[in-house]
Chain A
Amino acid sequence: MKIKDGFMLRQFGENYIVVAVGDDAEDFNKLITLNTVGAFIYNLMENDVTYEEIVSAVLDKYEADRKTVENDINKFLADGKKAGLIDG
């Protein structure tokens, strides 16, 4: 799984915001905002990664149990797919 080309994650003040770049950017008016965990997952997914790789990376980084982490990741993936952010 991977973030599609044409998106860029930036930090504005305290906020992580995904913006569209490139040829389709003109049609993209909606911004996607992420929390810190979301931004961490986004960065992982700039490379092609598996679900399991994301889970272990998040578990390494954050003090949380597997169930919580999986819930966060599932939500990120569901939202990301809905927003057209994710390939595969």
Chain B
Amino acid sequence: MTLSIAGVVARPKSAPPQQARKLKLPLRWISPIALVLLWQLASSTGVLSPDKLASPVTIAESAGELIADGQLGEAFAVSITRVFFGFLIGGLAGVVLGLASGLSRWGETLLDPPVQMLRTLPHLGLIPLFILWFGIGEEPKLALVAAGVAFPLYLNLHAGIRQTDPGLVEAAKVLGYSRFERIVHVVLPSAVPQTLVGLRIAFGTAWLSLIVAEQVNADAGLGFLINNAREFLRTDVVVVGLVVYALLGLTTDALVRLMERRVLRWQKR
């Protein structure tokens, strides 16, 4: 009897969570939608002035207009180019430094201390210096994005390499693999998961750096669009710009997650 009771008890234990999750997903949309409706109601009744925050409907209309007249597309292209080149420069620096200090004792001795010291600086606070060094054109913006990208990539690549299981390296050594082959077959692959974590953080900081950089004297790009809209109290356009920033961040994050799933297929899930 006891056994059969145990069986009955054990089964629902595994079944309901899945059902609950299926049920929960649409339920979780209730409050966000309610908030948007409330927001629209406040705007329509005049409780919320459009100077403070435009209504959802107005924002959607402005988004349509900005897309139609090409303003948004142009700003989008400018901003994404900045992130691309900033990421390229910072990524290259982070990877080269990370490899050098991860793979060689001397590299670590010489490179790691200064990098660790510099990373304690809040890199967004470097704007005044970057403006003095690079002026107010594209350069300080790229530099800020690059700085935001280089550090997380360096730190995670370095840590990933250092976390390599020495047992695996030994096994390859007995099989006659040279130092270079051991790096290629054992050390670098085992650093990949940690490096992908670094990549995701790097994308996050890249967008953050861009947003801050574009607040400073931009004459094109999403930041310019937002700042310009502020001058004319166009809160609708400001929100459209913010939404685009958010979507860009979500997109790159999703791309890295997708990459993780493909590259890290071997991991137990």
Asked if A and B bind, the verdict is no
